[in-house]
Chain A
Amino acid sequence: MPLVEIERLSKVYRKGSQEVPVLRDLDLTVDAGEFVALMGPSGSGKTTLLNLIAGIDRPTTGVIRVGGDDLAKLSRTKLAAWRARHVGYIFQLYNLIPVLTAFENVELPLLLLPLSRAERRKRVEVVLDAVGLLDRHDHYPRQLSGGQEQRVAIARAVVGDPTILVADEPTGDLDADTADATLALLKRLNDEMGKTLVMVTHDPHAAAAAKRLVRLEKGALVAGEPAAVRRRVMRN
């Protein structure tokens, strides 16, 4: 069953009087429980597509429905509330709040949900334990390594039990071992918890963790293939 339905989606940015088309008449569906990797050269529109799915940007034309909600029709405030409930966003550069501890960073999105303090605490402890950082709950981002920061960021993204997780080059700033650990964590979220994941990456190795690969070039889809097929292709 499709969780994300995209029809004839276009996005045009304006730079002064100049119009820069980023996405052109794009159609795509992502089923619930899928792990999709978006690949493509710089400027191909993959991050724009991810931002549109996450509801932090708006399409110029076309329809984008996530979980049945037509995002283009939601007001700014309603879209924010929708994001709080349905989206977990993982950034390349973690983007943790520097003045908050790991615990407080993970708790931040829960402040927007109708949860008691005790419920928030329990949820935060569960996800910090899941990413192996419960013992670092009172550490500030500056006291954590890059990999640990990214794990806190992943915990922050999943703590609200969102409908969809989106990740923008989540391993782009990590060394190989840490990147592997992060990808393994994302795979676990998909395999064991059934989380739908859409991930932008430049890295074929990272893309191989996904179940489906979607390639963009110049704002249009050029291929969509199961990752298992792609792995065979890479081996051959």
Chain B
Amino acid sequence: MLKFLPYVRKNVLGHRVRSAMTVAGTALLLFLFLFVTAIQGGLDRVLSARDDRLVVFQAYRFCPSSSQLPVFYADAIRGVPGVKSVLPVKVVVNNCRASLDTVVFHGVDPKLLPAVRPNLALVAGDWAAFQARTDAALVGRRVAERRGLRPGQSFTVAGVTVQVAGVFASDGTGEENVIYTHLNLLSNPAAHHACHATLFEVQVDDPGQAQAVAAAIDAKVKEKFEVPTETKPQKAHYAAALADLLDLIGMTRWLGFVCVGVVVVLVANSVVMSAQDRVREHAVLQTLGFSGPRVFSLMLGESCLISLAGGVLGTAACVAFLLWRPMTLSTEGASIDFVATPGLVGSGLLLSLAVGFVAGAVPAWQAGRAEIVTSLR
């Protein structure tokens, strides 16, 4: 088949304007489809968070700022059987609604952080500097890149002023969009007479028992402090936090399907035009001894080449765009990263090949089945 490639390539290049327009259209639509897929992938990553983590949130509170749980509840929660560790977290966001550049502060006990977040790897700065100052902050890499933050810099967002002690990388879902700072800084104990957290992040011994442990935590807090809490697996918490966005992102999935449909029509139109222009040429090929299946595969090759060229361009453009402008959709502290993953690249290329195949199959089949004598006339 390889020896026929020059023929396929020359036929595609021989109709430069038509091929270029089809490739450009395919690239644009693939770009849009992959961008939507990147959003979807980000959401999937958030909703596939680890099963061994629970989030204790104040019941009937629907915004991070309204959930106020005293930090000393942590001791009671630690006493619940099956709980491995408890991390009080104060969430402060600079925007309670959806935003493409939300800054999320997590106030934590600086001494506990290295133990409960062993996956944090500092790419700049050091832990000692973070623990030494109450207003020190460890900034997630994506936030640092978006905002141009470096160790030693001070900045103020959502009324919180911090100094960057380090920048970290993490494989945790959405974690590189978080800024860790001291719990005391965010919870303002002087104002509230006690240090308050927005939520407690609880790690359990056995993920299979997570639901039972969650119920036990709610019961214990209710019994001891008469405060209703709602403890959920972390992914369920994120799903609830992102509920408004789920519908929106669900809509974008349909938008992606429409893009694929339009690409199929676009490439099919180009292949049909090419096949109709070259009815005689295909008859000549058959006269020379090219079989119907061979003509079919040549036409299909052209279709796949055009589609793949568009796919490569569209995928490259989407990856370049996501690397150039890293984006995050956040709400209530849960973040959806738009990330160019190897899977995204692979799906873009595979999809473009599949589109080429689907779009070219019918015209290629017609070209391969055409009667030679009729076509020569």
Chain A contacts for B132, CB-based, 8 A: none
Instruction: Report yes or no: A77 in contact with B291, Cβ–Cβ below 8 A.
Output: yes
Pick the interface stretch among B1-9, B83-91, B191-199: B1-9
Known interface pairs A51-B373, A56-B373, A111-B3. Does A83 touch B10 (Cβ–Cβ under 8 Å)? Answer: no
Residue of A nearest to B6 (CB): A104
Could you list 14 further interchain pairs (A-B, Cβ under 8 angstroms) beyond the known A56-B373, A83-B289? A56-B372, A77-B292, A80-B289, A80-B292, A83-B287, A85-B289, A97-B281, A100-B7, A104-B6, A108-B288, A109-B288, A112-B288, A112-B290, A117-B3
Instruction: Report yes or no: A109 in contact with B373, Cβ–Cβ below 8 A.
Output: no
Shortest Cβ distance from residue A44 to the other chain B in the assembled complex, whole angstroms: 16
Q: Is B11 interfacial (CB-CB < 8 Å)? A: yes
Instruction: Kindly identify which residue among A48, A80, A82, A97 contacts B286, using a CB–CB cutoff of 8 Å.
Output: A80
Q: Is B14 interfacial (CB-CB < 8 Å)? A: yes
Known interface pairs A51-B373, A56-B372, A104-B6. Does A98 touch B14 (Cβ–Cβ under 8 Å)? Answer: yes
From 75 to 101 in chain A, residues with beta carbon under 8 angstroms from any chain B beta carbon are 76-77, 80-85, 87, 89, 91, 95, 97-100
Ordered by A's residue number, 25 sampled pairs between the chains whose C-beta atoms are within 8 Å are A48-B373, A51-B373, A54-B287, A56-B287, A56-B372, A57-B372, A77-B291, A77-B293, A80-B291, A80-B292, A83-B287, A83-B289, A84-B289, A89-B288, A95-B284, A97-B7, A97-B284, A99-B14, A100-B7, A100-B10, A108-B288, A112-B288, A112-B289, A112-B290, A160-B289
Q: Is B157 interfacial (CB-CB < 8 Å)? A: no
Instruction: Report yes or no: B291 in contact with A111, Cβ–Cβ below 8 A.
Output: no
| Secondary structure type dominating chain A contacts | helix
Query: Per-position contact with A for B4-34: 1 when CB-CB < 8 Å, else 0?
Result: 1011001101100000000000000000000
Bound-complex Cα distance A156 to B13 (A): 23
Chain B contacts for A82, CB-based, 8 A: 289
Query: Per-position contact with A for B218-245: 1 when CB-CB < 8 Å, else 0?
Result: 0000000000000000000000000000
Known interface pairs A51-B373, A99-B14. Does A109 touch B293 (Cβ–Cβ under 8 Å)? Answer: no
Q: Is B78 interfacial (CB-CB < 8 Å)? A: no
Q: Is B280 interfacial (CB-CB < 8 Å)? A: yes
Shortest Cβ distance from residue B17 to the other chain A in the assembled complex, whole angstroms: 14
Bound-complex Cα distance A15 to B13 (A): 39
Residue from B7, B284, B286 with most neighbouring chain A CB atoms (10 Å): B284
Bound-complex Cα distance A83 to B286 (A): 9
Chain B contacts for A156, CB-based, 8 A: 288
Bound-complex Cα distance A95 to B287 (A): 11
Shortest Cβ distance from residue A89 to the other chain B in the assembled complex, whole angstroms: 5
Chain B contacts for A51, CB-based, 8 A: 372-373
Bound-complex Cα distance A168 to B46 (A): 70
Known interface pairs A77-B291, A80-B292, A81-B291. Does A108 touch B7 (Cβ–Cβ under 8 Å)? Answer: yes
Query: Per-position contact with B for A41-61: 1 when CB-CB < 8 Å, else 0?
Result: 000000010010010110000
Bound-complex Cα distance A34 to B93 (A): 93
Bound-complex Cα distance A15 to B359 (A): 32
Residue from B10, B13, B289, B293 with most neighbouring chain A CB atoms (10 Å): B289
Closest 7 CB pairs of A and B: A84-B289, A99-B14, A80-B291, A83-B289, A56-B372, A99-B10, A95-B284
Residue of B nearest to A51 (CB): B373
Chain B contacts for A85, CB-based, 8 A: 289
From 11 to 61 in chain B, residues with beta carbon under 8 angstroms from any chain A beta carbon are 11, 13-14
From 130 to 162 in chain A, residues with beta carbon under 8 angstroms from any chain B beta carbon are 156, 160
Bound-complex Cα distance A89 to B294 (A): 19
Bound-complex Cα distance A117 to B4 (A): 12
Bound-complex Cα distance A109 to B376 (A): 18
Query: Per-position contact with A for B281-312: 1 when CB-CB < 8 Å, else 0?
Result: 10011111111111000000000000000000
Chain A contacts for B293, CB-based, 8 A: 77
Instruction: Kindly identify which residue among A77, A95, A100, A112 contacts B280, using a CB–CB cutoff of 8 Å.
Output: A95
Bound-complex Cα distance A80 to B293 (A): 10
Chain B contacts for A81, CB-based, 8 A: 289, 291
Instruction: Report yes or no: B290 in contact with A80, Cβ–Cβ below 8 A.
Output: yes
Shortest Cβ distance from residue A6 to the other chain B in the assembled complex, whole angstroms: 17
Chain A contacts for B373, CB-based, 8 A: 48, 51, 56-57
Residue of B nearest to A85 (CB): B289
Instruction: Report yes or no: A84 in contact with B288, Cβ–Cβ below 8 A.
Output: yes
Shortest Cβ distance from residue A12 to the other chain B in the assembled complex, whole angstroms: 13
Shortest Cβ distance from residue B131 to the other chain A in the assembled complex, whole angstroms: 69
Residue of A nearest to B9 (CB): A99
Residue from B11, B286, B288 with most neighbouring chain A CB atoms (10 Å): B288
Instruction: Report yes or no: A83 in contact with B292, Cβ–Cβ below 8 A.
Output: no
Instruction: Kindly identify which residue among B3, B10, B289, B291 contacts A87, using a CB–CB cutoff of 8 Å.
Output: B289
Bound-complex Cα distance A173 to B292 (A): 29
Bound-complex Cα distance A57 to B372 (A): 7
Shortest Cβ distance from residue B5 to the other chain A in the assembled complex, whole angstroms: 11
From 322 to 377 in chain B, residues with beta carbon under 8 angstroms from any chain A beta carbon are 372-373, 376
Chain B contacts for A77, CB-based, 8 A: 291-293
Shortest Cβ distance from residue B135 to the other chain A in the assembled complex, whole angstroms: 69
Chain A contacts for B294, CB-based, 8 A: 80, 112
Residue of B nearest to A84 (CB): B289
Shortest Cβ distance from residue A86 to the other chain B in the assembled complex, whole angstroms: 9
Chain A contacts for B6, CB-based, 8 A: 104
Shortest Cβ distance from residue B121 to the other chain A in the assembled complex, whole angstroms: 53
Residue from A51, A104, A111 with most neighbouring chain B CB atoms (10 Å): A111
Bound-complex Cα distance A100 to B9 (A): 10
Query: Per-position contact with A for B249-283: 1 when CB-CB < 8 Å, else 0?
Result: 00000000000000000000000000000001100
Instruction: Report yes or no: B284 in contact with A91, Cβ–Cβ below 8 A.
Output: yes
